[in-house]
Amino acid sequence: MDYKGEFRLGNRQYRYPLTVTDQKSGYLLGCEALEGMRTGPAQEAFLEVFREYGLPSAIRSDNGSPFASTGRMGLSKLAVWLMRLGVELERIVPGHPEQNGRHERMHLTLKQDTTRPAGNNFLQQQKKSDVFRKVFNEERPHEALAKKTPISVYQRSERQLPDELEPLQYPLHDHTRPIAKNGCLHLLGVGLIYIGAALAGENVGLR
């Protein structure tokens, strides 16, 4: 998963394409031209992908927002949500985009096909992205796939997106405590301990 930077539409508004691909086949699962790189819209885009294609076993990303943060363990709200879904987080080494080489090559083609010129508004731009995704997946042969198309190689995940997430429990730990909205944990006799905003609203296990 990654963002293809930013670009300006004909109406002077900026868009940030969020892209998701399958590592094995190169199949482009999602390509949404979002207004920014905020957690909420990104999560909604991932929900659409997961409902249609199932849950992956792992997702690779860079270390930028909203995928990661400079907080504890590099966690972000989006990262915690993915972990709660049972998705393993893989992060490339900072400054080494070649570790996502296939994804970066797709981004180059995406830029050439959908932003030169860009659409006049969001709807036009999203239509360009949708057309690109169909051509990329179903019509354009890929050298890495021995000239096959991604759709001919791709296999849908058998893991289903759950209807809801159950609260975290830690039966083998001494205590289970919730993290407040401000990212703090309250312990009797100790006071407030800042754990991290990424875990706000979640239970943590204490020993």
Reduced to 3 states (helix: H, G, I; strand: E, B; else coil), residue 106 is helix
- Domain assignment present for 116: yes
All residue ranges of the chain with pLDDT < 50 are: none
Q: What local confidence, expressed as pLDDT, does residue 40 receive?
A: 95
Q: What local confidence, expressed as pLDDT, does residue 99 receive?
A: 82
* Phi and psi torsions of 101, nearest 5°: -55, -50
Whether the model clears a pTM of 0.85, i.e. scores above it, the answer is: yes
CA angle, 15 then 2 then 165, to 5°: 105
Give yes or no: residues 72 and 138 share one domain.
yes
User: Which residues, including other chains, have CB under 8 Å from residue 44's CB and lie 6 or more apart?
Assistant: none
Give yes or no: residues 50 and 125 share one domain.
yes
Q: What local confidence, expressed as pLDDT, does residue 98 receive?
A: 80
Q: What local confidence, expressed as pLDDT, does residue 174 receive?
A: 87
Q: What local confidence, expressed as pLDDT, does residue 188 receive?
A: 87
Query: How many folded domains does the chain comprise?
Result: 2
Distance CA 114, CA 67 (A): 24
Q: What local confidence, expressed as pLDDT, does residue 63 receive?
A: 92
Give yes or no: residues 55 and 124 share one domain.
yes
Q: What local confidence, expressed as pLDDT, does residue 103 receive?
A: 87
In the chain, the largest separation of any two C-alpha atoms, in whole Å, equals 66
Domain of 129, in residue numbers: 2-153
- Domain assignment present for 83: yes
- Domain assignment present for 167: no
